[in-house]
Amino acid sequence: MTHTTADIRAAMDQLIDRATNFDVDALESIYHDDFHTTLVMPDRSVVTYTKQEFITHFRKQAEEGKTQLNTWADWHDFHVLGESGACVLTRKHSGMNGEEMNLLCNIEWRYQDGRWQVLREAIFLRPLSE
């Protein structure tokens, strides 16, 4: 099977749609079992999450009654190599720390079990003014 950057873009669109709506059931399928994310906060502190910790983060926000997050994205790069892919983009939303921020994201994907799954995310949070 030949994968394309359009496949990664479609997977990203699904991820953004489901994550911004706090759909934890869908995120269980989208995030790989070995998922790991690193958040570099504006003060340079670092927070990391496993798959279950990150899904718990989304579940907590849903239980608190949070509404849909901003879905805005600025796409910078897509790359596919066999069963792996990556996307670099900038997002704007408040889901990581409660304050609307710019998020520079590097998201790595793996095609496994008949679907694209997020393996790793590196997210750098910056104030909207930067």
| Total domain count, the chain | 1
Q: What is the CATH number of the domain that holds 24?
A: 3.10.450.50
Instruction: Say whether pTM exceeds 0.85.
Output: yes
Domain that holds residue 64: 5-127
Q: Per-residue confidence at 72, pLDDT binned at 50, 70, 90?
A: very high
pLDDT in tens, 32-67: 999 999 999 999 999 999 999 999 999 998 898 888
pLDDT in tens, 18-37: 999 999 999 999 999 999 99
Return d(Cα 73, Cα 89) in angstroms, integer: 7
